[in-house]
Amino acid sequence: MPTESTAVLTMGTVEPFFSGEVRRITHVLVLNEGSRAVWTVSDLSGRRQPGTVRPRAPRHLLFHGLLGWLASIPQGARVIASRPELSGQVFDSVDGESLETEVDSEDMRSIVQALPENTFAVLTLIDGATIQPAEVAAAGDLGLRIELAMSPAGRGRQANGRLGGEASSELEVR
């Protein structure tokens, strides 16, 4: 089975700026799916080489990406180590060059709660992605500022979370 890129997750922080706020992108994650899903995590500062996150099971792939991003930022590694519910979800791979993650539906809330308060995400889905809009909505419902930039149908959508209104499991067409 060939591998193809099926999603791009842009992560960053929201910072105060005069009377409003500004978004600062810090990382880009690309999900490649084939015989096994793999997130590639790229630090846009250029201080770190891209890393890989290998979900142990192909469920909740968005949350595997969020956990992989958290593990890749300095304060995130400390947060994971201090939270027993998360420290058992991130593992060094056998090759020592990537991380493996294990996420069940009951872990999703803990992952979102562990993210820095000012975190935002923009998810672009490409045709063939196994991440479903309902999973994006669930992340928004749990409080993540996340936007779905493009659905497989090609229409821009938004999961509200902290980014503009009431959290909803319904995605709104923008």
Among 8-12, 17-21, 52-56, 155-159, the least confident range:
155-159
Question: In this model, does residue 77 exceed pLDDT 90?
Answer: no
b/e code 39-50 from CB counts within 10 Å (16+ = b): bbbbbeeeeeee
**Percentage of the chain lying above the pLDDT 90 cut:** 55
Between CA 5 and CA 123 the distance in angstroms is 13
pLDDT (0 to 100) of residue 52: 93
What confidence score (pLDDT) does residue 164 get? 35
- Alpha helical stretches, state H, 40-154: 61-72, 74-82, 84-87, 108-114, 133-141
Among 18-22, 127-131, 168-172, the range of highest mean pLDDT:
18-22
93 in helix, strand or coil?
Answer: coil
114-136 pLDDT per residue, tens = 999 999 999 999 878 889 888 99
Q: Is the dihedral of CA 56, 62, 63, 67 positive or negative?
A: positive
Q: Where are the domains of the chain?
A: 4-131
Instruction: Tell me if the pTM is above 0.75.
Output: yes
Q: Write out pLDDT tens, residues 53-70.
A: 999 998 999 999 999 999
* pLDDT score recorded for residue 3: 80
Q: Which helix (H) or strand (E) holds 38?
A: strand 38-43
According to the model, what pLDDT value does residue 2 have? 65
